[in-house]
Amino acid sequence: MKREDLLIKELNLQAHPEGGFYKETYRSEGVILEKHLPENFEGSRNYCTSIYFLLKTNEFSAFHRINQDENWYFHEGSSLTIHQISPDGIYTKTVLGSTILEGEVFQHTVPKNYWFGATVNQPDSYSLVGCTVSPGFDFKDFELANSKQLQKKFPDHKIIIEELTR
């Protein structure tokens, strides 16, 4: 069995709607009440959540956005590129990996409300990373991009948007 499929099995990862496979590994007991959260949150949220996230080569994490910052941590496998577009249309990419002398980073924060997706850098490989958000994750805060709408909003980034949407 390929190592990525072994990891999916051993870590009990499930398919994620953005692409790739994930499992929640932590959800804090503590809850932040809706009245203490910014207005765009509907309902209460746990303080914090963490997941494993595994992406295979030739797959992608599609452009999506959430209401809170997301911290990414490299675990193993190929380096992974995080592609992000800020709300005012600036595209940047960050390589999450372990070759820090060549500009890769072990950790990266995607700011809240940025559109972001990810791709694996090495052929025939995978990336295993961790993602943590606070307030804790809820699919109510998660929006997958509509390809045509995002291309219309950010025409300068049409090619990468076409690549990272379904």
Question: By the criterion CB under 6 A, which residues form the site for ligand GUN?
Answer: 16, 22, 24, 49, 51, 70, 131-133, 137
Whichever of 4 and 138 has its CB closer to ligand GUN, that residue is 138
Q: Please name the helix (run of DSSP H) or strand (run of DSSP E) that holds residue 5, with its range, or none.
A: helix 3-10
How many degrees, rounded to 5, is the angle at CA 71 between CA 105 and CA 159?
Answer: 75
- How far apart are the C-alpha atoms of 23 and 13, rounded to whole Å? 5
Q: Under a CB-based contact definition with an 8 Å cutoff, are residues 76 and 70 in contact?
A: no
Whichever of 16 and 56 has its CB closer to ligand GUN, that residue is 16
Minimum distance from CB of 1 to ligand GUN (Å)? 25
Whichever of 116 and 154 has its CB closer to ligand GUN, that residue is 116
Minimum distance from CB of 52 to ligand GUN (Å)? 10
Tell me the DSSP string of 134-157. Answer: SSPP-GGGEEEPPHHHHHHH-GGG
Would you put residue 45 in left (φ > 0), alpha (ψ -120 to 50) or beta? beta
Whichever of 103 and 111 has its CB closer to ligand GUN, that residue is 111
Minimum distance from CB of 44 to ligand GUN (Å)? 16
Nearest to 33 by CA among 41, 25, 24: 41
Minimum distance from CB of 74 to ligand GUN (Å)? 15
The residue whose Cβ lies closest to ligand GUN is 137
Minimum distance from CB of 68 to ligand GUN (Å)? 9
Whichever of 24 and 156 has its CB closer to ligand GUN, that residue is 24
- How far apart are the C-alpha atoms of 118 and 16, rounded to whole Å? 13
